[in-house]
Amino acid sequence: MAMSVEHDSRFKFVAQGALVAAYCHLPRSVPPQGGKGKRGKVTEFSDRSRKRLARLLHRLSPACGVFITLTVADASVGPRRAKRRLWLVTRWLRKLGFDAIVWKQEFQARGAVHFHLLAFAWRRRPPWVEKDVLANKWGLGFVDVSFFDGGRVLAYVAKYVRKPVVPLPDGGDPTGGDPSGGVPAALPAEGASPEPVPPAGAVDLTDTAIFEQQGEQDAPGRFWGVVGREALVWAEVALLERLPDALRAVFEGLLERVRNMLGFTPGVLYLFSRVYLTT
C-alpha cells in the first residue's frame, strides 16, 4: 500500500506502543537504542532528558499499576536524603509484586522536593497499595495513590512527562513542578518509622541509579530513573502501512517547523499517540 502521507512520501513510520518514529531511512535497530556512556553531573531536568523519558514510557506495552506521589513536608530535606527514602519505597513496591517502577523528581515552588512514581504490573494483577502503609514507609510527608489500567495509563504518562515550569529556588533551571507549586505537602504519618535504614552510599539499582555520590549534599542528582529495567515489557515493533489520521496533521506540522528551523529534512521525528498502536 502506498504511504498515506503525501506531505513527504520518503518517510517510513515505525510504531512501538504509543510511539511512532518517522524515518527517512530505516536504521538497523528500530527504534534505535541510545548508548550508555558515562553521564556528567546532573543539575537540571533538561528538555533532552524529558524527551528520553517520554520515549521510554510510550514504547512500553500497556500495563496496569499505580501512580504514586510522595511529597516532603520539610523543605530543608534535600534531594539526597529524600532519595534514600525513595530507595526504601521502591524496594518495598517490588517486594509487593510490581515488575518495575519509573520515578521522577520534581520541586515545588517553596523548594521542597517531591517524587512521582509509575509502578507497573504486566505479569499479574497489580498488588493493592495501602496508603497508610505507604505513608509509614515514606515517612517524610503526604502520599497519594491512584490505580490505573491499560486503557488509562497514557493519560498518566502525559501528565508524568509534562514540560517543566517551576524554577529551582536558587533561580536555576526548571525542574518539572506544577504551575501551582506542586502537590501540597502534609505532615508525615503518625508513627512513621525510619527502619530499615537505607545504605549511606550510592546504590546501583539500574543504569539510572536513584541517587549517587555527586559531592554536593543537596545537588538534585538524577531527575528520573527506572527500578527493575530488566523487567520492563516493551510493545511490539511494527512498520505502519499508513500513518493514523489523528497523527497526520501532527506529523506534517512538526516536519514543517523542523525544516524551517534546520533548513533540511531531519532523519527521524518522534510522534506520541494518545492510543496504543501496538501492544
Contacts of 194 (CB under 8 A, 6+ apart): 139
Residues 255 and 173 in one domain: no
Least confident of 51-65, 112-126, 161-175: 161-175
What's the pLDDT score for residue 157? 83
Q: Is residue 217 part of a domain?
A: yes
Residues 85 and 161 in one domain: yes
Q: Which three cell numbers stand for residue 254?
A: 512538526
Alpha-carbon Rg for the chain in angstroms: 20
Residues 23 and 81 in one domain: no
CA-CA distance, 71 to 216, in Å (whole number)?
22
Residues 209 and 100 in one domain: yes
Contacts of 56 (CB under 8 A, 6+ apart): 102, 226
Place of cell 506542586: 182
Q: What is the pLDDT of residues 238-274, one digit of tens each?
A: 999 989 999 999 999 999 999 999 998 889 999 999 9
Residues 274 and 186 in one domain: no
Q: Which three cell numbers stand for residue 144?
A: 497519594
What's the pLDDT score for residue 89? 98
Residues 127 and 144 in one domain: yes
What's the pLDDT score for residue 159? 77
Q: Is residue 48 part of a domain?
A: no
CB burial readout 23-34, b (16+ within 10 A) else e: beeeeeebbeee
Q: What is the pLDDT of residues 42-89, one digit of tens each?
A: 556 688 888 999 999 999 999 999 999 999 999 999 999 999 999 999
Does 14 score more than 90 pLDDT?
Answer: yes
Quick count: other Cβ atoms within 10 Å of Cβ 89?
25
What's the pLDDT score for residue 25? 73
As for how many domains the chain has, the answer is 2
What's the pLDDT score for residue 158? 81
Q: Which three cell numbers stand for residue 160?
A: 508524568
Residues β-bridged to residue 235: none
Among 141, 236, 237, which residue's Cα sits nearest to residue 182? 141
What's the pLDDT score for residue 26? 65
Range of the domain at 8: 1-27+239-279
Measured in degrees and rounded to the nearest 5, phi and psi for residue 257 equal -65, -45
